[in-house]
Amino acid sequence: MPIIYLSPSTQQSNLFVSGGSEEYYMNLIADAMIPYLDSSGIQYVRNTPEMTAASSITASNAGNYDLHVAIHSNAAPEGRYGTVRGSIVFYYPGSVQGRRAAEIMANNLRSIYPLPDDVRALPSTTIGELRRTRAPAVFLELAYHDNYDDAAWIKNNIEPIARNIVLSLTEYFGIPFLTPRPPRSGVVDVNWGRLNIRSRPNTGAPVIAQAYDGAPITVLNEWQGWYLVRYNGQIGYASSDYITLT
């Protein structure tokens, strides 16, 4: 299953025109993403507010991540303060996967941002979290925090924005988007051999683990005859035909 490095802004000095900081609201969005990441089987490691962009890059590069996701709000250049609106998803121009992720995210953000024609995916060679990360990366500038309407959109749409970003991640990774539900306990119930746990909900997907008959297993979610499960620290998909809920 995919794993991302989740990097909400650590810029506490970037203030929203209506109060609060970029760091505060981007971390609220990251908080709201967690249940959707968990329910869809996307694993993550996250930076902390005490970190910087540089230390977030270092931490990301120390791991083996499928995507680096930086979440920010924007500010207009001097002389245009408060007059600019829009949502931009940046990617590094040499990264095919980064561009694909950015285009998926921009396309989905158009469905919730009030000015869909002002949502764009753009290349950048100057942003460190794109240029210096080992994993493919996207850098979301969700809206302009110096604009009253954009700042209000972020503040009033924490949950929809979080849901939308995770929806885009599932589309990028080619896995189902699943809504949060409480985990359930189960037991593997096979008549022979072991139960295959796969990276995707189809019989052609790679096997990432195997569970013996009678093994306890945690069911995180379900989709079209498949359970999303956790077994011995691994998260993947297994046929619901061979798991009995307890």
pLDDT of residue 193: 87
Residue 187: which pLDDT band, with cuts at 50, 70 and 90? very high
C-alpha span between 66 and 166 (Å, rounded): 14
Mean pLDDT over 174-199 rounds to: 95
C-alpha span between 160 and 28 (Å, rounded): 12
Are the folds of 3-173 and 184-245 the same? no
79's tokens: 């002389």
State residue 32 phi and psi, 5-degree precision: -70, -20
Q: With contact defined as beta carbons under 8 Å apart, do 160 and 30 qualify?
A: no
Q: With contact defined as beta carbons under 8 Å apart, do 153 and 208 qualify?
A: no
Helix ranges (H only) for the chain are 22-40, 53-61, 96-109, 128-131, 148-156, 158-173
Domain boundaries, the chain: 3-173, 184-245
C-alpha span between 58 and 7 (Å, rounded): 12
The architecture in CATH of the region 3-173 reads 3-Layer(aba) Sandwich (3.40)
Hey, what CATH class is 184-245 in?
A: mainly beta
Burial class of residue 166 in the structure, from the number of CB atoms within 10 Å of its CB (0-12 exposed, 13-18 middle, 19+ buried): buried
pLDDT of residue 192: 86
Q: Calculate the dihedral angle through the C-alpha atoms of 129, 131, 136, 140, rounding to the nearest 10 degrees.
A: 40
pLDDT of residue 48: 96
Mean pLDDT over 178-202 rounds to: 95
pLDDT digits (tens, 9 = 90+) for 128-150: 999 999 999 999 999 999 999 99
Mean pLDDT over 87-104 rounds to: 98
Give percent of the chain with pLDDT exceeding 90. 98
Residue 24's region, left for phi above 0, alpha for psi from -120 to 50, else beta, is alpha
Model confidence, pTM: 0.95
